[in-house]
Structure 1
Amino acid sequence: MDLARSRAAAERLHQLVPGGAHTYAKGDDQYPAGLAPVISHGRGAHVWDVDGNRYVEYGSGLRSVSLGHAHPRVVAAARRELERGSNFVRPGILELEAAERFLAAVRTAEMVKFAKNGSDVTTAAVRLARAATGRPLVAICRDQPFFSTDDWFIGTTAMNAGIPEETTNLTVSFPYGDLAATEELLRAHDGRVACLMLEAAGQREPPPGYLAGLRELADRHGCVLVFDEMITGFRWSEAGAQGLYGVVPDLSTFGKALGNGFAVSALAGRRELMEQGGSRDARDRVFLLSTTHGAETHALAAAMAVFDTYVEEGVTARLHELGERLAAGVREVAAGMGVGDHVLVRGRASNLVFATLDERLRPSQEYRTLFLRQLVTGGVLGPSFVVSSALTEDDIDHTIDVVGQACAVYRKALDAGDPSAWMGGRSVRPVFRRRN
């Protein structure tokens, strides 16, 4: 595979952009050495790099492009608004229409405020919870990988340089699925926890009664329950995990699939809480969200088109069908090559990831490198197996064929007891690491 132009572009990016990308998860250290394509364009479920190579793509836009690239309905909606002006000195009528459309879908919420990034709205939720409760501590689910780029979360990761310890100490954590441990945490910090923040579901389904139990704990201990719906929004249901499982949080945050690649996120929740960030509440005002570009008309129009497409075309069901076909195929070829215990597919069908385990069945970055190398050279760009509705059955079948070839190499490496001969260089690296 010729990636000369991609490698040259990547080197120029590193000279101009810290990390060589605007999102750490898109960095070339996440891909095998010399196999990090720089993208020229995309359409549907395919992308082309600057060298002219075409790939079937998974996890598009960090899971945001769930309808496929350049979706005609979404692009048309955004284009119409671009020709009418994108940002005004007063609210545009589209802000009202988008809020009505959002709240008609997410019926568990009473008010909504739009922004651009997921971190905007998760941090706003934290601030609002602290203001409403008068409490300093934020409790996050420790088993979930990411909530915000802001200090209150990043300070808890290995990349905590530049964040005061005093800030980090204001964030505590609880394990997913363990109500007893969460209650113990709330008792240990009695009257000091402002909110419980978590993804209602992730790589495994919530245990029976778990979410309802969290709701009861939050009520009993007087803290705010926040569901991060960045990933579960749309992929679980049009109303997210709360719409599927029937447990109502006080606040919830949406993004990613909301705009199919356009920059739009949302904080939604109970009127009693949300109004404290407004101008008609008698309590002390909360500087909730005040973003210059939070209500750009083309992004809100794109979001409304996404809502309509999901409902009218049954996109959530389509994502599950595609994911189930892919997962079954990968498991079959992995088992056939004798690596079924080493190459694992996990998660809900609409949000699949894969794990690569070594000879002792431990997670391995080295074997991930080997596996990714075979995927990329086979024309599959897949840091995960998160599907978009633009994938065809042929795309899935091609992916399964490439995975089969990768599993054959994987078997050779396991037999040798060392994957280095098939890695092509250094291993891929975790995003959250203390040193480069």
Structure 2
Amino acid sequence: MGTGQDLWQRAKQIIPGGNMLLSKRAEMFLPDLWPAYYSKAKGCKVWDLDGKEYTDMCIMGIGTNTLGYGHEEVDAAVLANVQAGNMSTLNAPEEVYLAEKLIEMHSWADMARFARSGGEANAIAIRIARAASGKDKVAICGYHGWHDWYLAANLGDDNHLAGHLLPGLDPKGVPQNLRGTVYPFNYNNYAELEAIVAEHDIGVIKMEVMRNQGPQDNFLQKVRDLATRRGIVLIFDECTSGFRQTFGGIHKMYGVEPDMAMFGKAMGNGYAVTATIGRREIMQSAQSTFISSTFWTERIGSTAALKTLEVMERERSWERITAIGTGIMTRWQKLGEKHGLKVNVAGLPAICAFGFESPNALAYKTLITQEMLAKGYLASNLIFSSLAHTPEIVDGYFEVLDPIFALIKQCEEGRDVLSLLNGPVCHAGFKRLN
């Protein structure tokens, strides 16, 4: 057992769940062998607590570091403001500059509010939208955080008022009186949304613009037209998709404008900052409710975001990471064909994933993580691309992955995959509405 895995066992005794983010738990990768903690990260390299170096061909800080870990320009801007003072009785001017920058790149938006996490941004947007619409009920599609307003979607009729419309997200602790306030619909199923709006007094529609697939049959425009027709506030959650395929929200690629949008993850290249932007008549409703928090005023987040956006614009990072991810998706597919495996590839190119059409899919995912880790790679079945993923690094990844696919083919033909694992099969996540 390495130092990181030993620390993980200690952590689970004193921190519920072991850490603060489900997606970073060791059990999601390799329950008994994942190094769990890092001592240093640079580019797309990560060093564990024992000083062992890995190439990150995995989640790259949950998609926060599109410029690569420890980007020198971003870090320098942050360090300069740390030395100048991160907090004060007065406000940080950078938040005004950042608001202006985001509004400039989204012509439909007039105002912005900032927070430090995606869940906060989602909660802020819902509070403002409900205040603006004067209605409580929300229709949702996708993942929008951990707050009560969202998990209320799982307060259904099955399993003792826990319907789990989003399997894997348990609503225990969410007040039962929130039941009937949130109605999920599936992506590209316009008829389902139309029926929800017809049956319930919906004031807000919140959705991810896309994740595993793009809109079909003019889906996004139909949603926009429905919201306009019924006086519903339309929110696009771009906390994950923003700045990956366009400079700003991916909705720009489809030419459909929401009333509000949220951004996070990639915007600060690893530093905590999220934004909620919107039309003036909607955003001004923030003044008629209460939304306020001390650490939303610290200086590091907005400073990092400003420099990150500057570098992104200069490097046209969204084009580069999309090209990298597109190449990876193509090579996954070809590798599957080479070994006679049924491989499904999905996602935004810069947030791409693959899976096997097999009842042993989760065990195969675990096997890949195990074998790639032994070769010096942090890997699973998805990759968040970054500028640090050079052609040489991607080539090296596929060179190591090739024989593992061959091993999986043997398992499909009868070899016991569990006999190849040095520990338990990894845990599965939750199912998104897409």
Q: How does 1:144-223 map to 2 (within 5 A)?
A: 144=142, 146-155=143-152, 156=154, 157=166, 158-189=169-200, 192-223=201-232
| AA aligned opposite 1:165 | Q
Structure-1 residue corresponding to 2:163: none
- Counterpart-to-counterpart distance in 1, 2:422 and 2:309: 43
DSSP-derived class of the 1:233 partner? coil
Change (3 A) 1:168 1:395: farther
Structure-2 residue corresponding to 1:318: 320
Structure-1 residue corresponding to 2:425: 427
User: Which of 248-257 and 32-41 deviates more?
Assistant: 32-41
Check the 8 A contact 2:245/2:319 in 1, yes or no.
Answer: no
| AA aligned opposite 2:96 | L
Q: How does 1:240-259 map to 2 (within 5 A)?
A: 240-259=249-268
- Counterpart-to-counterpart distance in 2, 1:168 and 1:374: 45
Check the 8 A contact 2:62/2:384 in 1, yes or no.
Answer: no
- Counterpart-to-counterpart distance in 2, 1:41 and 1:154: 35
Structure-2 residue corresponding to 1:395: 393
Tell me which stretches of 4 or more aligned residues in structure 1 moved more than 3 Å.
none
Per the TM alignment, residue 305 of structure 1 is displaced from its structure 2 partner at its CA by 0.8
Q: Deviations over 1:301-356 (max 9, x none)?
A: 110111111111110111012112222222222221222x1x33212211101213
Per the normalisation by structure 2, the TM-score is 0.91
Check the 8 A contact 1:174/1:181 in 2, yes or no.
Answer: yes
Q: Deviations over 1:129-166 (max 9, x none)?
A: 2111221211111xx3x211101223424411111222
- Counterpart-to-counterpart distance in 1, 2:429 and 2:409: 27
Per the TM alignment, residue 363 of structure 1 is displaced from its structure 2 partner at its CA by 7.4
Structure-2 residue corresponding to 1:24: 22
2:378 corresponds to which of 356, 377, 381: 381
Structure-2 residue corresponding to 1:74: 74
Q: How does 1:283-362 map to 2 (within 5 A)?
A: 285-287=288-290, 289-339=291-341, 341=342, 343-358=343-358, 362=359
- Counterpart-to-counterpart distance in 1, 2:174 and 2:412: 41
- Counterpart-to-counterpart distance in 1, 2:357 and 2:371: 16
Q: Deviations over 1:22-61 (max 9, x none)?
A: 1111011102232211211110011111122222212211
| AA aligned opposite 1:16 | I
Per the normalisation by structure 1, the TM-score is 0.91
Structure-2 residue corresponding to 1:281: none
| AA aligned opposite 1:162 | G
Structure-1 residue corresponding to 2:246: 237
Q: How does 1:256-295 map to 2 (within 5 A)?
A: 256-278=265-287, 285-287=288-290, 289-295=291-297
- Counterpart-to-counterpart distance in 2, 1:365 and 1:108: 43
The unaligned stretches of length 5 or more in structure 1 are: 279-284
- Counterpart-to-counterpart distance in 2, 1:7 and 1:178: 43
Give the share of equivalent positions with the same residue, in percent: 28
> Is 1:7 matched up with 2:5?
yes
Structure-1 residue corresponding to 2:158: none
RMSD between aligned alpha carbons? 1.7
Check the 8 A contact 1:374/1:405 in 2, yes or no.
Answer: no
Structure-2 residue corresponding to 1:412: 410
- Counterpart-to-counterpart distance in 2, 1:406 and 1:236: 30
Q: Deviations over 1:243-294 (max 9, x none)?
A: 221111011111000111100001100000111113xxxxxx121x312111
| AA aligned opposite 2:249 | G
DSSP-derived class of the 2:250 partner? helix
| AA aligned opposite 2:368 | F
DSSP-derived class of the 1:40 partner? strand
- Counterpart-to-counterpart distance in 1, 2:421 and 2:170: 26
Check the 8 A contact 2:98/2:302 in 1, yes or no.
Answer: yes
Check the 8 A contact 2:12/2:18 in 1, yes or no.
Answer: yes
The number of aligned residues is 414
Change (3 A) 1:292 1:100: same
Per the TM alignment, residue 210 of structure 1 is displaced from its structure 2 partner at its CA by 1.3
